[in-house]
A and B are shown apart, each in its own frame.
Chain A
């Protein structure tokens, strides 16, 4: 499956191939565009990969793998790093025995994301090294380099990619697989890995010493290199912006930065001095430009308009020509919509009919905000629907509070909905609250990945299953209903109406497999040989469980 021939691969697939050739023992992550395909391809080519309930858990499993002396790859989209930030910062302090590579897939332009954060800031904040590949070949090469760097300095490494790197197919020439990792074994390091303050203080100093050593290495590594061209124009750049810039200004000299934290300030200073005009070309935040200017070097940064959206050749031409006039807007395309036959139609029709105030969440059902329903009042981050709904209930006048409903998808519920339910039981609003889990039995938005609630692993084999209604009851929710959704919204609407009127804490699990995934789900269930999943599809005939 992983031939050594030159092949066309997406950046995501190239990272997976690099991980396989780099001897990664386990890949973990949570699906999120544009990172999702990394683990899927790793499993496809024979590596070991598994979905975790969320990014924090995925990283913590990865830390365990690396504490055991093995090599771990952990993948997530940019906002996933927010969820995983707590263990990331601490793992930087403890260090690792094996290798720990964390992929942050950023989404400049927000093709499929709720914000445009630039995760290069995380490398600085967590004090870890960072690599930024520009295409699929570099995605492959830099994954191998990240493993080496992580093992050499015993530190987590951030492999920061963007949508255009992840989702561009380009040729990749694989190389001979890396030397295998030593056999995993446990070595006790009580002071190194127990971050009580007495241990954490020296750990912080050790971390800064590692960074200082890596800053020296950054000056000499070929990951940061100069392409000599004209003296008149020098460009400092990283990631896919390098490709746009080379095309926009083929005559220029380039300092191409692949290892972007810690930065090679001596090399940068030498480059700045070697050219008449030096421009920093980077997507997103002015991370490089700010750091270079703070080091006392005079470079041109970009005006605020270039902080937004992706770069392309045209935008780089404008930047270099100092043409800061308003950019022409591209004609809007057709926005996405809920699929025909999607069970979310039924739910949003009822929410609209009852004029609910809807605290929504992340997933396909976020499309409920668009016409014809316009029936979602907020969508902030994974799992936020339940606590935000509770907050609204706490302060709104009763007439409004009684209209508040939290809706959350099944994968999102497992990701970070359960703590919201605990909050609901612990601090119940006086008007009660209603939570609806939209259980379509898959992680639909990112392309139908399995999760702990489907009872199947990443490669669709049967495994243990989290049952939401059982979780709700175990947490102490008074009323838990399971409703298999039909084509008509009347039954769901009636249940919702009664739930709202009851002023109790109510959990409704509204269930019907995603229309795009249903056929495959039936196949997986048949292959698994059991009918465990089918019980769920059928549920109770009355649609209600006590």
Chain B
């Protein structure tokens, strides 16, 4: 059985962790992969820690990334990096908030999508599917700012990703 690609997205409530994982899972689904996306919400709007697991590949069984088996860990809040580092497998890709300068974004609320731009350089998902997913998951008036954020992230992602 081929193992899926495992991505964990982490941050604090209100940062767009779940929206980012929606976009990633939509992009993977549109690219023909089986996908499962799982998170715990409920208290998440109240500023607490939030993580969302996205797994995609030819077959996905458990909806949760097994501990220590994430291929990529995307963290939106600086103080959530250490808390979640244990999710990453040895040699996995760590994407941290310092990779994006919020001042470079048309809308700072698109920070989550900018980090997806960084991640996109490492995944076998065509850019067109990423953009289609952004369009599908966000209201139209937010499309330009998020396209700009995604492009900013892709440029930043060309630089080598930190290896944990």
Contacts and interface: CB of A to CB of B under 8 A. Distances in A.
Interface of A: 8, 33-34, 111-112, 135, 163-164, 167-171, 240, 243-244, 246-247, 250, 310, 312-314, 330-339, 364, 367, 445-447, 516
Contacts of B26: 8
A170 B45 contact: no
B43 interface: yes
Contacts of B36: 135, 168-170
18 contacts: A33-B41, A112-B41, A112-B43, A164-B38, A164-B63, A164-B64, A167-B40, A170-B37, A171-B29, A244-B61, A244-B64, A246-B61, A247-B62, A250-B1, A312-B62, A333-B80, A334-B12, A335-B49
B144 interface: no
Contacts of A33: 41-42
Interface string B14-40: 000000001001100100001111111
Contacts of A330: 67, 86
Interface string B78-100: 01101100100000000000000
A364 to B, nearest CB: 7
B12 to A, nearest CB: 6
Contacts of A243: 61-63
Contacts of A310: 64
Nearest to A246: B61
A339 B83 contact: no
| Highest count of chain B CB atoms <10 Å: which of A310, A313, A445 | A313
Contact of B64 (A112, A250, A312, A332): A312
A250 B60 CA distance: 12
B45 A447 contact: yes
A181 B1 CA distance: 43
Contacts, number: 109
B38 A314 contact: no
Given A112-B42, A167-B39, A312-B66, A336 B86 contact: no
A14 to B, nearest CB: 13
A8 B38 CA distance: 12
B146 to A, nearest CB: 19
Contact of B83 (A8, A333, A367): A333
Contacts of B58: none
The 4 closest A-B pairs by CB, nearest first: A333-B49, A112-B42, A336-B48, A336-B46
A313 B42 contact: no
A338 B82 CA distance: 24
Interface size class of B (residues with CB under 8 A): 35 or more
Contacts of A111: 40-43
Contacts of B126: none
Nearest to A316: B62
B43 A167 contact: no
A169 B44 CA distance: 17
Contact of A313 (B49, B51, B62, B80): B62
A336 B29 contact: no
B102 interface: no
Contacts of A367: 46
Given A8-B25, A312-B64, A331 B82 contact: yes
Given A336-B43, A339-B47, A135 B63 contact: yes
Given A312-B64, A338-B46, A447-B45, A163 B86 contact: no
A113 B62 CA distance: 23
A312 B8 CA distance: 15
B66 A170 contact: no
A110 to B, nearest CB: 10
A310 B39 CA distance: 13
B46 A364 contact: yes
Contacts of B34: 171
B48 A168 contact: no
Contact of B49 (A334, A338, A364): A334
A247 B46 contact: no
A332 B48 CA distance: 11
B78 to A, nearest CB: 12
Contacts of B43: 111-112, 336, 445
Given A170-B36, A171-B34, A337-B48, A314 B67 contact: yes
A155 to B, nearest CB: 31
Contacts of B37: 8, 168-170
